[in-house]
Structure 1
Amino acid sequence: MQSSSADTFESSILRQLSTLDRFLPLWIGLAMAVGLALGRVFPDLNDQLDRVKIDQTSLPIAIGLLGMMYPVLAKVRYDRIRDVTTDRPLLVSSLLLNWLVGPALMFALAWIFLPDLPEFRTGIILVGLARCIAMVLIWNSLACGDTEAAAVLVVLNSIFQVAAYAFLGYFYLETLPGWLGLEQTAIDFELWDIARSVLIFLGVPLLLGALTSLIGRRRKGDAWYEQQFLPRIGPWALYSLLFTVVILFAIQGETITSQPLDVVRISLPLLAYFACMWTVAFVWGRAQRLDYPKTTTLAFTAAGNNFELAIAVAIGTFGVASGQALAGVVGPLIEVPVLVGLVYVALWARRRFFPPTASAASARA
C-alpha cells in the first residue's frame, strides 16, 4: 500500500509544475528555432542591438538578463538566513560542494571534453562557477527536500557569487591553466570585467529582490506575497530567458547551423557534471547522517547552476556573438530535463536508503 501511494505521488510530479515550467525544454527548443529563423531574416541584428548598451551589453539583452534574475531572487526568504546557518553539517557541506568541488569538477570536465574548443570551454567553466540560485527551489520542492534550507542556501550562494565569482573566474580561466601548463583563455580580460558583470546582473537584482521580499512581506504579509505577488512576477523569469535565447540564437545562427556537432559536444560535459555533482552530494549528505529532506536539498543545490548569471557574464565579458555565450545558453536546455529526472531518482532513493518514518514525513512535507 505504501509503495502504491509513493508511486502515485511520484507520477504526479510533473503535474505540479505550471505549463510553462513543465515544458521548459520544449519552449527553449522553440525559442532556438525562432532565433535561427530571425537571424536569417535580419542578418544585421547584432549591429542594431548594439546601438544602446548597458556596460558592454545591448539594452534589450540586458533587460532580458535582469528579467531572468529578479523574480527568482524576490522569492527568497531573506529573513530566515539564521535558521539554516545554525545547521553546521549542512552549511559546511554546501559551501564545500558549491565553491570547491563544483567549480573544480566543471573545470576538469571542460578540459576533458573540449580541449580544442577554447571559447566553449570557457563558457562551460563560467557555468560551473555560477552556483545555483534559480529553479533549484522547484526541483527541491518536487523531491520533498527541505524548503527553508534550500531558500537560505540560495541566499548564501547569491552573496558568495557577488563576492567571489570574479576572483574564481580569473583563477580558473587564467591562473590555474597557467600553473598546469594549459592554454589560458583565448580572449584577454581584466578581473574587473567579470566583477562588473556580476555586480550589474546579479548585484542589482539581488538588492531589488531582497528589498521586495523584506518590504512586501512586512507590509502585506506572507500570504499575500506568496499567493498573489509572486505568481504574478514568477513567469517573467522564464519569459526573459526565452527572449534572451531567441536573441542569442538569432545572432549565433550561422555558427550553430554550420557547426551542430560543437553544440552536441557542449552538452557532454554538462550532462556529466549534473550527474556527478548530484550523486556526490547525495552520497555525502547520507554519509553525514543528514535526514532525507536535507540530503536532497544538499544534492540539488550542489548540482544546479545559475545559468542566467553565466549567460550574463559571458555576454558582458566576451560579447553576445561569442562561443562563451552560446555555451551558457545550452546550459538550461540540458539542466532542466536532467534535474527533472533526478527528482525521480531522489524519490526512489528515499524509499531505498531512508527509514520509512523519514520517508513518510518527507512525503507529507
Structure 2
Amino acid sequence: MSTVEDSSLPQVGSTGPNAEPKRLSLFDRYLTVWVALCMFEGVLIGKAMPGPVAALREMEISHINLPIAVLIWLMIFPMMLKVDFGSVLNVGKNPKGLLVTLFVNWLVKPFSMALLGWLFFKHLFVPWIGPEDADQYTAGVIILAAAPCTAMVFVWSYLTDGDPAYTLVQVAVNDLIMLAVFAPIVKYLVSGASGLEVPFDVLLYSVIVFIVIPLAAGVLTRRWLLQAKGRDWLEQEFLPRLHPVAISALLLTLVLIFAFQADNLTGRLLHVGLIAIPILIQVYFNSGLVYGLMKLFKVDYAIAAPGALIGASNFFELAVATAITLFGPESGAALATVVGVLVEVPVMLSVCSVCNRTRGWFAQSVHVSAGRA
C-alpha cells in the first residue's frame, strides 16, 4: 500500500524500488490559484472597461458567444487528440470496471446532482441567494454533472498508477455516449429541477459545436499525425506542446466570463462558497460510490482508481460552454460551472490521495489493459 508524503501534491507508489514519485507540472499543480487570479482579473477588467467588455459579450451567432467559442475550441481540441477511439473495440476484454463507471456517470451522477442542486439552492440556501439565482445555480451544477471528465482524467490516472490503456477506453466510451445523451439529460433535468426552460435547438448547437466538431477534428487529425509522424512523436512531442495552449485558453475564458459577470459578482462571494458545497458533496459521493462498487466486484486497483476519478470529475470546458450558450456569459448558470473549475484540481488531488492510500484494499496485478488499437 503506497503512502502519501506531506505535500501539496499526492505522490503515488513506485512501480520499482527506485522509481520517482509522480507529480503534476508546476502549472497544473497550482491551477486553482491561476483560476482564482483570473476571476479577480476578470472582475477588475469588467469594472474598468465596461464598453469593450459589452462589445465582446454581444459578439454572438445562434446564442454562441464567438470569443468564448474560439477559446473553448482551443481547450477541447487538444484533449480530443489524446483519445484513441479505436480502443473501444477492445472494451469487451475487461468489462466490469467500465460498466461500473458508466452506471455512475450516466445513471447516478446527473440525477444525484439535480437532487443536491434542488435541495441546497431551492430550499436550504434560498434565503441567501434568492429564487432567481437558485434556479440558475441549479441549472449550472446539473450541466456540470452531465459532462463526465475527458482529458484531465489521464492526469489523475497517472498520479494513481492507473492502467493507461483502460483509462483510454473509459474516456473514449464516455465521449461517444455523451454525443447521444448529454443534450436530453440536460434538457429534462434542468427543466425539472430548476424550472428553467432549455431550448433544445440551442442545446443541440452546443453539442455540435463543442463535442461533435472538435471530436471529429481530433479523430481525423490524430489519424493523420499517426500516419505522418508516428505515435511517439504525437504523444511525446506534439501533445505536450499543445498543453500550454489549452490551459492558456482556459484561463483567458475565465477572465472573459468573470469580466462579463463583474457586476453580478461584486457582492456575491458568498454565492461562490455556497455553490461549491453541493459540488464537493457530489464529487466525494460519486468517487466513493464507484470505488466501493469496484471493490465489491473485485476489480483490480489499476482500473478501480481511474474509474473513481472519472466518476467524480467533470468535463468543465463543455459545461462552461453549454451554460454560456444556454443562459449567457453573465448568467448564474455559467458562474456555477466556473466554480466547478475552481474546486476541480484540489478536490481531485484529494481523491487521488485517498486512492493511493487505499490501494491495498484491491487486488494488485500487472496492468490488465483493454488494449490499444
Q: Determine if contact 2:63/2:202 at 8 Å carries over to the other structure.
A: no
Pair 1:35 & 2:24 matched: no
Once residues 349 and 228 of structure 1 are traced to their aligned partners in structure 2, the CA distance between those partners, rounded to angstroms, is 34
Q: Which residue of 2 aligns with 1:164?
A: 181
Pair 1:338 & 2:347 matched: yes
Q: Determine if contact 2:206/2:321 at 8 Å carries over to the other structure.
A: yes
Per-residue displacement from partner, 1:97-138 (whole Å, max 9, x unpaired)?
Answer: 110011111111111211131111110111011111131110
Picking from 128, 138, 148, the partner of 2:145 is: 128
Q: Determine if contact 2:11/2:353 at 8 Å carries over to the other structure.
A: no
Q: Which residue of 1 aligns with 2:26?
A: 19
- What is the TM-score of this pair, normalised by structure 1? 0.90
Q: Which residue of 2 aligns with 1:318?
A: 327
Q: Which residue of 2 aligns with 1:70?
A: 77
What count of residue pairs does the alignment treat as equivalent?
Answer: 348
Pair 1:241 & 2:258 matched: no
Q: Which residue of 2 aligns with 1:180?
A: none
- Partner SS state of residue 305, structure 1: coil
In the alignment, residue 195 of structure 2 is paired with which amino acid?
Q
Percent identity over paired residues: 32
Q: CA RMSD in A?
A: 2.1
- Partner SS state of residue 326, structure 2: helix
Q: CA deviation at 1:7?
A: 5.4
Change (3 A) 1:216 1:257: same
Q: Determine if contact 1:45/1:251 at 8 Å carries over to the other structure.
A: no
Q: Which residue of 1 aligns with 2:170?
A: 153
Once residues 94 and 336 of structure 1 are traced to their aligned partners in structure 2, the CA distance between those partners, rounded to angstroms, is 20
Once residues 313 and 320 of structure 1 are traced to their aligned partners in structure 2, the CA distance between those partners, rounded to angstroms, is 10
Once residues 252 and 37 of structure 2 are traced to their aligned partners in structure 1, the CA distance between those partners, rounded to angstroms, is 11
- What is the TM-score of this pair, normalised by structure 2? 0.88
Per-residue displacement from partner, 1:242-267 (whole Å, max 9, x unpaired)?
Answer: 00100011111121121211111110
In the alignment, residue 288 of structure 1 is paired with which amino acid?
F
In the alignment, residue 118 of structure 2 is paired with which amino acid?
W
- In the alignment, structure 2 segments of 5+ residues that lack a partner are 13-20, 127-133, 368-373
Q: Which residue of 1 aligns with 2:362?
A: 354
- In the alignment, structure 1 segments of 5+ residues that lack a partner are 178-182
Once residues 237 and 280 of structure 1 are traced to their aligned partners in structure 2, the CA distance between those partners, rounded to angstroms, is 31
Once residues 328 and 8 of structure 1 are traced to their aligned partners in structure 2, the CA distance between those partners, rounded to angstroms, is 31
Q: CA deviation at 1:235?
A: 1.9
1:231-270 alignment to 2 at 5 Å?
231-270=240-279
Per-residue displacement from partner, 1:295-337 (whole Å, max 9, x unpaired)?
Answer: 1121111111111111111111111111111111111111110
Instruction: Give the stretch that moved more between structures: 77-86 or 9-18.
Output: 9-18
Q: Which residue of 1 aligns with 2:158?
A: 141
In the alignment, residue 169 of structure 1 is paired with which amino acid?
V
Pair 1:184 & 2:199 matched: no
Q: CA deviation at 1:11?
A: 5.8
Once residues 40 and 92 of structure 2 are traced to their aligned partners in structure 1, the CA distance between those partners, rounded to angstroms, is 44
In the alignment, residue 72 of structure 2 is paired with which amino acid?
L
Q: Determine if contact 2:138/2:190 at 8 Å carries over to the other structure.
A: no
Q: Which residue of 2 aligns with 1:47?
A: 54
Q: Which residue of 2 aligns with 1:58?
A: 65
In the alignment, residue 71 of structure 1 is paired with which amino acid?
P
Per-residue displacement from partner, 1:120-175 (whole Å, max 9, x unpaired)?
Answer: 1110111011111131110111111111111121111112112111111112122x
Q: CA deviation at 1:8?
A: 10
